[in-house]
């Protein structure tokens, strides 16, 4: 931040080179743009097209207008899937934001034991979702898992088989895997807060709690927005973990939208309806991302260093 | 501030790619097996038959260097989704593993599998080696498209004799006896039945047997033919009610809906003495031989046909399950691949070594005259009993999820799961399923 406030005013002084470098910068985006068009825009167009057709994955693709959309939108399973998605999104936010914020602040300290703990916290992120899911499935097994194995009755619940519990187990496992990532984001954010703020606050007689609520938290505003955007949009993409852990069950208890899309397309072989669901996912995902971003306030130009 | 704006944009962009990559997944499978266009590819299942198929392909390849089969294994549930996508994209294997029924029908409708008629006319001995009733499951509208390659797999009720002795009870012959056993086992701290509820298809075994015992095989035939309101048949409603009664009486092990059958966890409950009985396919005998050889050789494993239901219309000798697993030959394979695949079907299957391997693994070959070989096997008690059960049953019904079309099948399994969980009533089940008829 401090660096930028120095370099930004330098630009208007020499407008010509600035413009030239702006033009050449555009080319840097070209490789990414090519990949984006090939792997994102073209498949997206294909999915939009498929959503107006009927296709079982084997035979001919026939245009059927809005039939697939009507099938997808009127199905009670879709309504339930949307509700499950909202619940997972909500609970994920509530669980992950405070934990990763506190862990981030904690690990931002320079003490050696904190650095060591930060490395340990990071481990779950290194594991693949499928491996995490298989491990939890084995641990939570009601007959051969940790609970019965160690004779701890309170752990011997039917964690993944009880429709009321399964959703929260899913939220927990998601948090276990992704809290380290968000901790890292917060850790970086906290480390960017100038130490002079805290020194000044100390001189003014602010305690630790006051420092946290009046300096750390406000300074982390944009970090929080970035992290929350990833969490919210991420819950529209949770698939592998839940597919392996519960396969959407028991019943429809953990069948969230992306999983519903997959099962509709590749198990019930209704590619048209699955594509319609895919389009809904893209639109909702983009909408939510924009919404969370705009929550950050209109006045983007306002400095985070306000009051410094 | 510039930084946070940038990271904001990155977040939106990554959000977009996250969603999009998900939308694009599953459209292609790994296809590195095209190295040699002339050699056939084969996709088989992990589990009970893995060793037999592997050994057979290995010895075939040793003798046929020019057309060696490239074999890949897949887990059951993953295979079902993968193979269909691959076949639709023209990237399926030369030899396609299947179960017959509605899925085979959909391949035939779109011309993805080869008509085997002329092959069978040229090689009459191939057809003659099979038990006709099993062979017929690979026939669609009078034409043969698939040949059996595993053992016969009726669904059998296994039980742990030791646990029955412990509570001093006899294995149930009727549904009422079965219901009477439930509280007795629960009092002794033993679960009456193991069930791999998370895999969903084991639930179907209960449903299809009960419908058959209550109403006979005609009930499902009407469903298969798409007759209106066929799911509202009183036999269907009664069977579902009986299932819910059994669930409510704690007939199934605690947490059954998180037990996955793919890993053999349901069979493990039986041999570790946590559950007294298990309704599962004949392939579980192979699994038990592998995972718990002591349990099998000690003679503690018992087996019987599904109990009769008093006053029911179905013959208690009827069985459900998979008559066999089948090989189909892909229509989009090259001529060399097809020829080699057919050659394998002719000479590689059910030769002396193959049949012997099958029997040793604990499977019952669907071939004529297998009785003599079975009688010499160390597992002769189980094998001959199931062989007789399968060959003499008045009706051998294919698993419903395979007999029906994939969309009906998956809707049925999802709703049946909800029946076991008590989330819907039998009437609601019938209403939802009636909506899928004729789709």
Domain B41-152+323-368 part of CATH 3.40.190.10: yes
Q: Do A226 and B18 touch (CB under 8 A)?
A: no
* Within-domain flag for A75: no
Rounded to whole angstroms, how far apart are CA atoms A121 and A306? 33
Rounded to whole angstroms, how far apart are CA atoms A173 and A194? 35
Closest CA to B16 of A287, A21, A199, A102: A287
Q: Name which of B3, B11, B244, B268 to mutate to probe chain A: the one with the most chain A Cβ atoms within 10 A of its Cβ.
A: B11
Domain count, chain A: 1
Residue length of chain B: 439
- Mean pLDDT computed over A88-103: 93
Confidence of residue A269 (pLDDT cuts 50, 70, 90): confident
Rounded to whole angstroms, how far apart are CA atoms B258 and A167? 13
- Tens digits of per-residue pLDDT, B91-101? 899 999 999 98
In this complex, the residue of B7, B268, B417 whose CB is nearest that of residue A250 is B417
Q: What is the CATH number of domain B153-321+398-434?
A: 3.40.190.10
Within 8 A of B26 by CB-CB distance, chain A residues are 262, 265-266
- Tens digits of per-residue pLDDT, A146-180? 877 787 777 777 888 888 889 999 999 999 999 99
Q: Do A142 and B110 touch (CB under 8 A)?
A: no
CATH code at position A95 = 1.10.3720.10
Domain with A216 in it: 91-254
> Please, are residues B420 and B246 in contact by the beta-carbon 8 Å criterion?
no
Q: Do B1 and A4 touch (CB under 8 A)?
A: yes
Return the pLDDT at A23. Answer: 59
- Tens digits of per-residue pLDDT, A283-294? 998 898 888 888
Determine the distance in angstroms separating the CA of A293 from the nearest CA of chain B, rounded to an integer: 7
Return the pLDDT at B218. Answer: 93
Q: Name which of A156, A251, A281 to mutate to probe chain B: the one with the most chain B Cβ atoms within 10 A of its Cβ.
A: A251
Confidence of residue A296 (pLDDT cuts 50, 70, 90): low
* Within-domain flag for A31: no
Strands of B221-339 (E only): list them: 275-281, 301-304, 319-322, 326-329
Q: Do A137 and B7 touch (CB under 8 A)?
A: no
Return the pLDDT at B3. Answer: 44
* Within-domain flag for A37: no
> Please, are residues A224 and A162 in contact by the beta-carbon 8 Å criterion?
no
Q: How far is CA B178 from CA A102, B192, B247, B272, in A?
A: 56, 9, 13, 21
Q: Do A269 and B84 touch (CB under 8 A)?
A: yes
User: How many other C-beta atoms are found inside a 10 Å radius of the C-beta of residue B351?
Assistant: 14
Residues in chain B, pLDDT under 70: 1-37, 438-439
Within 8 A of B253 by CB-CB distance, chain A residues are 143
- Mean pLDDT computed over A233-237: 84
* Within-domain flag for A171: yes
Return the pLDDT at A6. Answer: 41
Q: Do A250 and B257 touch (CB under 8 A)?
A: yes
Return the pLDDT at A306. Answer: 44
Return the pLDDT at A59. Answer: 79
Q: Do B198 and A225 touch (CB under 8 A)?
A: no
Chain centroid offset of residue B246 CA: 23
Chain B residue with CA closest to A302: the answer is B1
Spell out the residues 6+ positions from residue A117 whose beta carbon is closer than 8 angstroms to its own. A106, A107
Give this prediction's pTM: 0.82
Q: Do B26 and A265 touch (CB under 8 A)?
A: yes
Helices (H), B305-395: 335-343, 352-361, 370-375, 380-392
Strands B396-398, B301-304: pairing kind: unpaired
Domain parsing of chain B, residue ranges: 41-152+323-368, 153-321+398-434
- Mean pLDDT computed over A283-307: 69
Rounded to whole angstroms, how far apart are CA atoms B19 and A185? 21
Q: Give this complex's ipTM.
A: 0.78
Helices (H), B273-376: 283-291, 293-297, 335-343, 352-361, 370-375
Backbone angles phi, psi at B329, to 5 degrees: -105, 130
């Amino acid at each position: 931040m401090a660096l930028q406030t120095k370099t930004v005013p330098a630009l208007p002084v020499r407008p010509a080179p600035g413009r030239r470098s702006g033009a050449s910068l555009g080319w840097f985006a070209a490789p990414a743009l090519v990949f984006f068009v090939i792997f994102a825009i073209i498949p997206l167009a294909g999915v939009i097209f498929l959503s107006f057709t009927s296709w079982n994955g084997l035979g001919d693709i026939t245009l059927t207008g809005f039939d697939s959309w009507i099938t997808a939108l009127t199905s009670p399973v879709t309504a339930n899937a949307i509700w499950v998605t909202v619940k997972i999104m909500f609970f994920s936010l509530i669980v992950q934001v405070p934990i990763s914020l506190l862990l981030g602040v904690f690990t931002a300290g320079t003490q050696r034991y904190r650095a060591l703990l930060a490395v340990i916290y990071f481990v779950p992120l290194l594991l693949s979702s499928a491996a995490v899911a298989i491990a939890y499935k084995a641990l939570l097994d009601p007959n051969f898992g940790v609970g019965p194995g160690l004779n701890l009755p309170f752990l011997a619940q039917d964690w993944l088989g009880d429709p009321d519990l399964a959703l929260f187990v899913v939220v927990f496992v998601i948090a276990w895997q992704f809290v380290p990532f968000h901790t890292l984001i917060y850790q970086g954010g906290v480390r960017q807060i100038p130490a002079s703020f805290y020194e000044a606050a100390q001189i003014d007689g602010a305690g630790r709690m006051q420092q946290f609520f009046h300096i750390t938290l406000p300074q982390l505003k944009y970090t929080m927005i970035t992290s929350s955007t990833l969490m919210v949009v991420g819950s529209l993409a949770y698939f592998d973990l839940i597919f392996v852990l519960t396969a959407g069950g028991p019943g429809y208890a953990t069948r969230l939208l992306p999983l519903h899309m997959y099962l509709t397309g590749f198990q019930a072989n209704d590619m048209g309806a699955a594509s319609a669901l895919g389009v809904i996912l893209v639109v909702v995902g983009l909408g939510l991302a924009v919404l969370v971003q705009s929550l950050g306030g209109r006045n983007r130009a306002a400095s985070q260093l306000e009051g410094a | 501030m510039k930084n946070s704006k940038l990271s904001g944009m990155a977040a939106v962009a990554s959000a977009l790619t996250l969603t999009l990559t998900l939308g694009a997944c599953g459209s292609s499978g790994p296809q590195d097996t095209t190295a040699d266009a002339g050699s056939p590819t084969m996709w088989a299942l992990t589990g009970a038959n893995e060793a037999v198929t592997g050994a057979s392909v290995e010895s075939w390849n040793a003798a046929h260097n020019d057309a060696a089969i490239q074999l890949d294994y897949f887990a059951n549930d993953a295979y079902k989704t993968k193979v269909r996508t691959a076949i639709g994209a023209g990237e399926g294997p030369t030899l396609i593993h299947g179960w017959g029924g509605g899925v085979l029908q959909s391949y035939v409708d779109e011309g993805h599998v080869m008509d085997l008629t002329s092959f069978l006319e040229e090689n009459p001995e191939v057809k003659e080696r099979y038990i006709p009733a099993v062979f017929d499951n690979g026939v669609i509208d009078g034409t043969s498209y698939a040949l059996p390659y595993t053992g016969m797999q009726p669904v059998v009720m296994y039980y742990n004799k030791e646990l029955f002795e412990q509570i001093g009870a006899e294995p149930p012959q009727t549904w009422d006896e079965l219901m009477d056993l439930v509280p007795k086992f629960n009092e002794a701290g033993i679960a009456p039945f193991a069930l791999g509820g998370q895999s969903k298809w084991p639930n179907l075994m209960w449903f299809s047997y009960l419908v058959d015992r209550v109403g006979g095989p005609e009930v499902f035939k009407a469903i298969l033919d798409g007759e209106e309101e066929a799911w509202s048949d009183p036999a269907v409603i009664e069977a579902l009610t009986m299932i819910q009664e059994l669930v409510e009486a704690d007939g199934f092990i605690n947490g059954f809906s998180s037990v996955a059958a793919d890993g053999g966890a349901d069979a493990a409950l039986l041999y570790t003495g946590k559950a007294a009985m298990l309704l599962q396919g004949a392939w579980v005998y192979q699994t038990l031989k592998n995972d718990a050889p002591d349990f099998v050789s000690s003679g503690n494993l018992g087996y019987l046909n599904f109990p009769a239901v008093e006053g029911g219309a179905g013959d208690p000798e009827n069985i459900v399950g998979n008559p066999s697993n089948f090989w189909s030959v892909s229509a989009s394979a090259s001529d060399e691949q097809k020829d080699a695949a057919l050659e394998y079907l002719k000479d590689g299957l059910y030769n002396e070594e193959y049949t012997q391997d099958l029997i040793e693994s604990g499977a019952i070959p669907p071939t004529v005259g297998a009785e003599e070989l079975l009688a010499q096997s160390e597992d002769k008690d189980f094998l001959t009993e199931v062989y007789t059960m399968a060959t003499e049953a008045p009706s051998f019904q294919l698993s419903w999820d395979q007999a029906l079309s994939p969309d009906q099948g998956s809707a049925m399994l999802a709703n049946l799961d909800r029946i076991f969980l008590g989330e819907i009533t039998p009437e609601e089940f019938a209403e939802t399923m009636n909506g899928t008829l004729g789709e």
